[in-house]
Amino acid sequence: MNRLHTISLSAAALALALTSCSTKQYQVASVERTRILIDSRYDNSTDPEVQKANAALLVHKKQVDAEMNPVQGYAATDLWVKRPESPLSNLLADILAWSSAKFGEQPDFAIYNVGGIRAALSKGAVTRGNILDVAPFENKICFLTLSGNDVLELFAQIAMRHGEGLSHSLRLTATADGKLVSATVNGKPVDPNAKYRVATLDYLAQGNDHMEAFRKKTDVVSPTGEENNVRFLIEQYFKAANDKGEAVSRTVEGRMTIVEK
C-alpha cells in the first residue's frame, strides 16, 4: 500500500470514529428484500468454487440418503395431526402403549403431546427420514404412576389445551372454552382413589407443555438408552406391521370430543 492510500484510509478511519462519537441519531429510511432462487442452475455452475462445494455436499448427501431412505413400513392413509384429535396423534399415543410390553409395563393409558409432532405422514412408504421429521427430538418413553385425582387434574389440563395425543383406552369430553366435562379410562369413570399407570414421554413426565399434573408422579421408570428414543419405537411399530403384511392406519374415533357449554 502506498503512502497516499495509507493517509486516505487513516483519514477515513478518523472520520468514522468522530461520526460514531457524535450524538446524531440515525433512523432506518427503508428496507428492501429480494428472493434468491436456488435451483438446478447452481448445480450446473461452471464456477470452480461452486463445483467444489457441490462435490462435497454430494458426498454428505449420499451418506444421509443411505441412513434416511430405508423404508420402515407403509401408511394405509395420510396420517395428519390436529387438535382435538387426529389420526397421527392417536397413532403415536397407541405406539407408546404398544411399546410398553418390551419394558414389562401394562399402562392404563398413554399420552403424547401434539406440540412434539412436527410433520405428517403421507399414504405409502414411510422412511426413517419421514419418522425423523415426525419425531425430531431426543424424547424417550417413560412410565409413571398417578393417583386418580392427579389423573383428573391431568385431563383438565389436556382439556385446557383442547386435546393431546390420547391412547385408545381414553375418552375425554371438554367444552370449547377448555373445561373438562367427562373422562373414562377403559370405559370406566376415573376413580379418584385409584392408581393409574401411564406411558408418556420423559419430556412430559417433567411437567412440560402445561401438563403440570405429571410432576406428582411416583414409581417412575425412565429408560435412558438411545434405543428407547420414541422415533426408534415408531420405526419398530411400522416394521412389525410390515412384517405382518399390514399398512398402518388410524382414524378419528372420539378419544377427545369438544361440546358446547
Q: Give the pLDDT of residue 6.
A: 39
This prediction's pTM: 0.79
13-22, 143-152, 174-183: range with lowest mean pLDDT? 13-22
Q: What is the mean pLDDT of residues 192-203?
A: 97
Residues 236-245 have a mean pLDDT of 98
Which residue in 112, 256, 92 sits closest to 184, CA to CA?
A: 256
**Pick the residue with more confidence: 129 or 29?**
129
Judge whether 183 and 170 are in contact, CB under 8 Å.
yes
3-class secondary-structure state, position 24: coil
Task: Tell me how far apart the alpha carbons of residues 181 and 3 are, in angstroms, rounded to a whole number.
Answer: 84
- First-to-final CA distance of the chain: 80
For the CA atoms of 137, 141, 144, 150, the dihedral, rounded to the nearest 10 degrees, stands at: 50
Residue-wise pLDDT for 149-192, tens only, equals 999 999 999 999 999 999 999 999 999 999 999 999 999 999 99
**Residues belonging to the chain:** 261
Higher per-residue pLDDT: 28 or 105? 105
**4, pLDDT greater than 50:** no
Which residue do the cell numbers 450524538 mark? Answer: 23
**Computed from CA positions of residues 219, 165, 167, 178, in that sequence, does the dihedral angle turn out positive or negative?**
positive
